[in-house]
Amino acid sequence: MDAEANAMWQDRIAAWSSYLRLERRLADHTLTAYQADVRDFAQWVGGDPLCVTPRDIREYMAGLLQRQYSRRTIARKMSALRMLYRYMARERKDLASPAGTIRSPKLARHLPDFLYIDEMLALLAKPDTSTPVGLRDQALLELLYGTGLRVAECAALSLADLTSAQGTLRVLGKGRRERIVLYGEHADRALLAYLHGARGRYALPGETALFVNQRGTRLTDRSIRRIVHMYAEQVDTGKHVSPHTLRHTFATHLLEGGADLRVVQELLGHRSLSTTQMYTHTAREYLMRVYEKSHPRA
């Protein structure tokens, strides 16, 4: 790509990125991924971004398939290009998006992993609550299971997010949308035990994070994943268990218990009900497992 074309791409990517950050309020890691996707296409296609054609994009997608990129990755790259050209078309009324008529590759539907109640209870019992770290870890596990929080939402929690109403948290979710989430008495007891018996031993002066590490600073997404995985390895489930598994488990157990789908949607912070509907499949799987285990003629 020559210097002039590179400058044109960079100018448009910068303006688009500002729009996504300020108006669409995309999370930083999502925005970084989309920027990288568009820059990859720009390097491949070269030339003026206003002269890109649908054929260019189809050939780019074909090249990604030949290089054995996953369909999910290709779909994300297509999503980035659609958003870029939708933004550019909004700014220039004479521009027709070259990505608007191109379909992303179909994705195989994977049902999310979740834990059965006995597996979940075994996991929650693993932290040694006679130690400060065990108190923190039990509060972390109980809160993840009791709220269905995403790992990034959990890592971002601060003391100020504990609301005046017992059993509720203020959470900043995807797209910087704020919501109030609920948690039960088990999570409440674990959280109070951690706050009164452990957090103060580690937290540095002025640290606002709810969950802190042994250096006294905020637990990161990566640290939370490591903690969940460490305890999950001690429970024989045969599954790869992550914080997102606990989110799936939260939703599945709610639906199995009779919760309305729209209530689960609200608690999970999903924009679309169709996203929440995938949990109806895992709830049916759970019911079948209970039936097969309990009925003498199953």
Catalytic residues: 150, 174, 244, 247, 270, 279
Contacts of 171 (CB under 8 A, 6+ apart): 147, 149, 153, 157, 161, 178, 179, 180, 181, 269
List the structure tokens of 101. 């008529």
Distance of CA 154 to the CA centre of its chain: 11
- Beta pairing partners, 158: 209
Terminal C-alpha separation, the chain: 65
Report which of 59, 115, 118 is spatially closest to residue 243, judged by C-alpha positions: 115
Question: Would you call 93 helix, strand, or coil by DSSP?
Answer: coil
Q: How many residues does the chain have?
A: 298
CB distance 219 to 202 below 8 Å: no
State the residue for tokens 């997010």.
161
Contacts of 89 (CB under 8 A, 6+ apart): 95, 96, 97
Q: Where are the beta strands (DSSP E) in the chain?
A: 168-172, 178-182
